[in-house]
Structure 1
Amino acid sequence: MDRLRGLDASFLYFESNTMLMHVCGLLVLDQSTMPDGYEFSRLRDHLKERVGGNPAFRRKVHNPVLNLDHPVWVDDEQFDIEHHVRRVIVPAPGDREQVAAVCGDLASHPLDRNRPLWEMWVLEGLEDGSIGVMTKMHHATVDGVSGASLISELCSLEPGAPPIAAGAPKPAAPARPRDARIVVDGALRLATRPVKFARLLPPTLGVLPEWIQRSSRGKAMPAPFTAPRTSFNGTITGHRAVAFTRMDLADVKEVKNAFGCTVNDVVLTMCSGALRQYLADRDELPDSSLVAMVPVSVHGKTKAEGTNKVSGMFASLASDIADAVERLASIAEQNLVAKDHHKTLSASLLQDWAQFAAPNTFALAVRVYSKLRLAERHPVIHNLVISNVPGPPMPIYFMGGRVTGFFPFGPVFDGAGLNVTVLSNDGHLDVGLIACRELAPELWDLADNLPIALDELLSAARKKTAPAKFGPSPKQRQPASPA
Structure 2
Amino acid sequence: MEQLSGQDAMFIHAEIKGLPQHIGGVTIYNPATAENGIVRFKQILAMLRSRVHLSPIFRRKLAPVPLGLGQPYWTEDPNFDLEYHVRHIALPQPGDWRQLCIQAARIHAIPLARDKPLWEMYIIEGLDNVEGIPPGCFALLLKVHHSAMDGPTGAHFMSLMHDMTPVVEEPPEAPPWIIEQPSTLAMLTRAYLDALRTPGRAVRMLRDAVPTYRRLRRGYAEKKFEKTGDIPRTRFQGKVSPHRVVDARTFDFATVRELKNAVAGATINDAMLAIVSGAMRLYLEQKNELPSQSLVTGCPIDVRSPEERATGGNMVGFMSVSLCSDIKDPAKRLAAIQRKSTEAKAYAEALGPRIAVDITDLLPGGVLAVAVRTAAITGLSESNVMANTVVTNVPGAPYSQYLCGAELIKSFSLGPLLPNIGLFHIVYSSVQKKQGAITLSFTACREMLPDPEVYAQCLQDSFDEMCQSLLTKGQGQSTGKGKASTAKKKAAAKKPAAKARSKGPAKASARTST
Deviation at 1:343? 1.6
SS at match of 1:355: helix
Tell me how far apart the structure 2 counterparts of residues 202 and 239 of structure 1 sit (CA, whole Å): 44
After TM superposition, give the deviation of residue 437 of structure 1 in Å: 1.1
Q: Give the match for residue 450 of structure 1.
A: 459
SS of the residue corresponding to residue 241 of structure 2 reads coil
Deviation at 1:201, TM superposition (A): 2.0
How far off is 1:127 after superposition? 2.6
Q: Please point out which of 182, 191, 196 is paired with 1:191.
A: 196
1:369-407 C-alpha deviation (Å, 9 max, x unpaired): 22333344x341110100112111221112322111221
Contact 2:43–2:404 (CA under 8 A) maintained in structure 1: no
AA of the residue aligned to 2:291? P
> What residue is the counterpart of 1:57 in the other structure?
58
The one-letter code of the counterpart of 1:57 is F
Matched, 1:21 2:25: no
- The answer for the alignment partner of 2:77 in structure 1 is 76
Name the CA distance, whole Å, in 2 between partners of 1:169 and 1:339: 43
Deviation at 1:256, TM superposition (A): 1.8
User: Helix, strand or coil for the counterpart of 1:461?
Assistant: helix
Corresponding position of 1:31: 31
Q: 2: distance between equivalents of 1:281 and 1:272?
A: 14
Quote the offset at 1:420 in angstroms. 0.4
Aligned residue in 1 for 2:468: 459
Q: What TM-score, normalized to structure 2?
A: 0.84
Shift of 1:65: 2.2
After superposition, the Cα gap between the structure-2 partners of 1:333 and 1:172, relative to the gap in structure 1 and judged at 3 Å, is: farther
Structure 1 window deviating more from structure 2 (70-79 vs 134-143): it is 70-79
Indicate whether 1:178 and 2:178 are aligned: no
Aligned-partner Cα distance in 1 for 2:118–2:406: 25
- Uncovered stretches (5+) of structure 2, i.e. residues with no partner: 130-135, 479-514
Pair 1:366–1:68, CA change in 2 (3 A): closer
For the structure 1 residues 90 and 209, does the alpha-carbon distance in structure 2 shift closer, same or farther, using more than 3 Å as the test? farther
Alignment deviations for residues 191-250 of structure 1 (CA, whole Å, 9 cap, x no partner): 211111111123236656754664566432664x82111001111122111111211111
What amino acid is the match of 2:188?
A: V
Q: Secondary structure at the match of 1:55?
A: coil
Q: Distance in 2 between matches of 1:153 and 1:406?
A: 17
Following superposition, the deviation at residue 136 of structure 1 comes to 0.5
Question: 2:295 is matched with which residue: 265, 290, 314?
Answer: 290
**Contact 1:119 1:137 survives alignment (8 Å):** yes
Pairing of 1:82-101 with structure 2 (within 5 A): 82-101=83-102
Which runs of no fewer than 5 residues in structure 1 stay unpaired?
470-483
Distance 2:72 2:305 in 1: 25
Aligned-pair distance for 1:366?
Answer: 2.6
Change (3 A) 1:78 1:296: same
| Structure 2 counterparts to residues 319-358 of structure 1, below 5 A | 319-358=325-364
Asked if 1:142 is matched to 2:146, the reply is no
Task: Give the match for residue 481 of structure 1.
Answer: none
- Which of residues 289, 302, 307 in structure 1 aligns to 2:313? 307
Match of 1:5 in 2: 5
| Counterpart contact for 2:31–2:137, Cα < 8 Å | yes
Work out whether 1:262 is the aligned partner of 2:267: yes
CA gap 1:468/1:393 in 2 versus in 1, 3 angstroms = closer
Q: 1:95 touches 1:127 (CA, 8 Å); kept in 2?
A: yes
- Write the letter of the residue equivalent to 1:18: G
Alpha-carbon distance between aligned partners in 1 of 2:475 and 2:249, rounded to the nearest angstrom: 32
Distance in 2, Cα, partners of 1:170 & 1:357:
36
Aligned counterpart in structure 2 of residue 200 of structure 1, from 205, 221, 241: 205
CA contact 2:261–2:476 (8 Å) conserved in 1: no
Q: CA deviation at 1:285?
A: 0.6
Q: 1:322 to 1:467 in 2, by over 3 A?
A: closer
Amino acid at match of 2:60: R
Distance (whole Å) between structure 1 residues aligned to residue 101 and residue 172 of structure 2: 36
The answer to whether residue 400 in structure 2 is matched with residue 395 in structure 1 is yes
| C-alpha distance in structure 2 between counterparts of 1:156 and 1:127, whole Å | 25
Aligned-partner Cα distance in 1 for 2:68–2:379: 31
Q: CA deviation at 1:174?
A: 6.8
Greater Cα offset, 107-116 or 442-451: 442-451
2-structure distance, mates of 1:79, 1:213: 54
Deviation at 1:169, TM superposition (A): 10
2:240 is aligned with 1:233: no
Query: By how many angstroms is 1:365 displaced?
Result: 3.0
User: How do 1:403-442 residues align onto structure 2 when only pairs under 5 Å count?
Assistant: 403-426=408-431, 427-442=436-451
Q: Which runs of structure 2 are paired with 1:213-224 in the superposition (5 Å)?
A: 214-215=219-220, 218-220=223-225, 223=228
Task: State TM-score, norm by structure 1.
Answer: 0.90
- Greater mean deviation of Cα atoms: 34-43 or 409-418: 34-43
Is 1:288–1:320's contact at 8 Å kept on the other side of the alignment? yes
Deviating more after overlay: 404-413 vs 354-363: 354-363
Residue 472 of structure 1 is matched in structure 2 by none
Residue identity (%): 32
Pair 1:235–1:54, CA change in 2 (3 A): same
Counterpart of 2:35 in 1: which secondary structure? Answer: coil
Contact 2:402–2:408 (Cα < 8 Å) also in 1:
yes
Pair 188,335 (structure 1): closer, same or farther in 2 beyond 3 Å: same
Structure 2 equivalent of residue 277 of structure 1: 282
Partner of 1:45 in structure 2?
46
Shift of 1:356: 2.7
Cα deviation per residue 1:146-186 (whole Å; 9 max; x = unaligned)?
A: 112211221111112328xx459999867333332222122
Post-superposition offset of 1:267: 0.5
Amino acid at match of 2:394: V
Bigger share in helix: 2
Q: State the AA in 1 paired with 2:126.
A: G
Change (3 A) 1:170 1:22: farther
Residue 373 of structure 2 is matched in structure 1 by 367
Moved more, 41-50 or 211-220: 211-220
CA contact (8 A) 1:68 1:190 kept: no
Tell me the SS of whatever aligns to 2:104.
helix
Q: Please tell me the residue identity of whatever aligns with 1:220.
A: F
Using a 3 Å threshold, how does the CA distance of structure 1 residues 416 and 67 change in structure 2: closer, same or farther? closer
